[in-house]
Amino acid sequence: MSASGVRSGGGYAAAGVVLVGGAAMKAQLGLPCPLTALTGWLCPACGATRAVLALADGDLRLAVRDNLVLVAVAAAGMLVLATPALRGRTARLPRDRAWPTYAAAALLVVFAVLRNLSGLEFLRPPA
């Protein structure tokens, strides 16, 4: 185990705690989305705070309704990190490959465009 605790999964658990705590704090403060405030468009993260809080409460249906991409990315991330552990190895994230970053950015752009089109209201979080 390394000093940072990342090999044992402690770093990932700490990141999860920070995300849930940050989402709870944002929800309490009622901070608006800057993109929505300026343009009226929903960004890919709109509804993410409510989705994280719903996941923390164990309400998967509500989390999917609030932000589908966040739930899908969280599930994929857990699968990627858990698969090597199930095989008795440590998770190794690619260090020299940029394609996951580009794929994630493209997914977020496509999701942002789709959720702002009329006829696809199911991709929008409830008001």
Mean pLDDT across 61-69: 90
- pTM for this structure? 0.61
Does residue 107 surpass a pLDDT of 80?
Answer: yes
Q: What is the pLDDT of residue 108?
A: 87
Does residue 113 surpass a pLDDT of 50?
Answer: yes
Least confident of 76-80, 96-100, 113-117: 96-100
Q: What is the pLDDT of residue 61?
A: 92
Task: Round to whole Å and give the CA distance between 21 and 17.
Answer: 6
Mean pLDDT across 12-21: 69
Average pLDDT of every residue of the chain: 77
Instruction: Identify the residue with better confidence: 88 or 38.
Output: 38
Does residue 48 surpass a pLDDT of 60?
Answer: yes
Please report, for residues 24, 71, 94, 114, the alpha-carbon distance to residue 78 in angstroms, rounded to integers and kept in the order given: 21, 11, 15, 25
